[in-house]
Amino acid sequence: MLKTFKIGGVHPEENKFSAGAAIEKLPLPETVSIPVAQHIGAPAKVLVKRKDEVKVGTVIAESGGFVSANIHSSVSGVVQKIDNVYDASGYRRQAVIIKVEGDEWEEQIDQSDELKKDINLNQKEIVDKINAAGIVGLGGATFPTHVKLMVPEGKKAEMLLINGVECEPYLTADHRLMLEKKHEMMMGIRILMTALGVQKAAIGIENNKPDAIEELRKISVEYPGIDIVPLKVKYPQGGEKQLIKAVMNREVPSGKLPIEVGAVVQNVGTAFAVYEAVQKNKPLIERVVTVTGKSVKKPSNLMVRIGTPVENLIEAAGGLPEDTGKVVSGGPMMGKALNDLAAPVTKGTSGVLLFKDSEAHRIDYEACIRCSKCVTACPMGLEPYQLMNYATHEMWKESEADRIMDCIECGSCSFTCPSYRPLLDYIRLGKSNVSQIIRSRKQ
């Protein structure tokens, strides 16, 4: 029997239209807008000014704190201005706008396709190099990778867990990466194992990607200590706590991190980026993005430079369909609607999803019928209907007591509600308020 997590979960329609589309390089845009806050933590501090010339890989903003990440130019050209632009969150944020000229790379970056298998750095040198390259979690959370590799005193990493689940419907970027960059990804995992000092790693992959499972199993004999673990298809198995339960059968306690049970979780895209940073001196300046939707002419997986306008990706996938009602950054369960198609691709952009107008509108919600489907679906064992009630009446003390901060915002509750209640919207509101209360308590 295939492994999976035990509590909750749903099975949305998969719609992986782009699964067979090989990764294509998107042509360079005329300008890029590179935000300095593309990660969890403090925004990076801008190092360049108007009219400065930059190359691909030039540091344009340095880490703004312990939990932060460097930002590099993804193109060569001239800095036009430092300005605020709309990003995928819908807010205007500081960005470096660069007019593209040619495609000149920093000399130390190895652009060859040669696979480099010798790891010549020690643990600290690897972590320092990942830090310098601005690597963050590419599964969507964008947590700085070097911080995850610094195991707190008194804790011990036992296993590196690689997230190859890609449980969000529609998205296929990780799937294609596992097929097309498998050796580079496996080397990235070996590097991460060295950085953590662990002997064991496992790649969790849902069983709807049998080609990826087969390919990685074939080559895993070349990479000792790395197991391939097929998983039952169930959303949200890509959540850290759900993946740890599925693969290791361990439960991360409420409010704690995976290291509490000896696990460190990284995404397959992150492992690939780590390989390029450590073995090729290449900072995080591009990533794979899925562009898809039921009316999209050419569902695609594109290798895109950071800062490229989303509208360029849509054009490459056949243009904006006439029946488009909403464009979402990310997947349908956890993604966010874009209010500006000029918004730039960032390190956390995994997909661009075009909903038809007939799919884009919410149905008027009705009263809760006490069916408890949201409770059954919640993978964290919460009571979403109750958390929505608390948020409606601003009952923050009760929200905190009922573990609202444990919500991973997967949307399973809203997906399964027969009354179409906006459960997740209210839970997010509750989390925001409770988070502020917790922070003020610590000051």
Annotated binding site for [4Fe-4S] cluster: 368, 371, 374, 378, 407, 410, 413, 417
Residue environment code for 42-67, b if the CB has 16+ CB neighbours within 10 A, otherwise e: ebbebbbeeeeebbbbbbbbbbbeee
Task: Let me know if 293 is exposed, middle or buried by CB neighbors in 10 A (0-12, 13-18, 19+).
Answer: buried
CB 197 within 8 A of CB 149: no
Q: How many Å apart are CA 266 and CA 202, to the nearest integer?
A: 11
| SS3 annotation, 148-174 | HCCCCCCCCCCEEEEECCCCCCCCCHH
Residue indicated by tokens 């991460």: 192
Q: How many Å apart are CA 363 and CA 420, to the nearest integer?
A: 7
Interior angle at CA 30, CA 61 and CA 282, nearest 5: 45
Cis before 418 (ω within 30) = no
Query: Which residues carry a binding-site annotation?
Result: 368, 371, 374, 378, 407, 410, 413, 417
Q: Give the HSE-up count for residue 74: Cα atoms under 13 Å, Cβ half-sphere.
A: 31
Q: How many Å apart are CA 13 and CA 153, to the nearest integer?
A: 43
Q: How many Å apart are CA 347 and CA 83, to the nearest integer?
A: 19
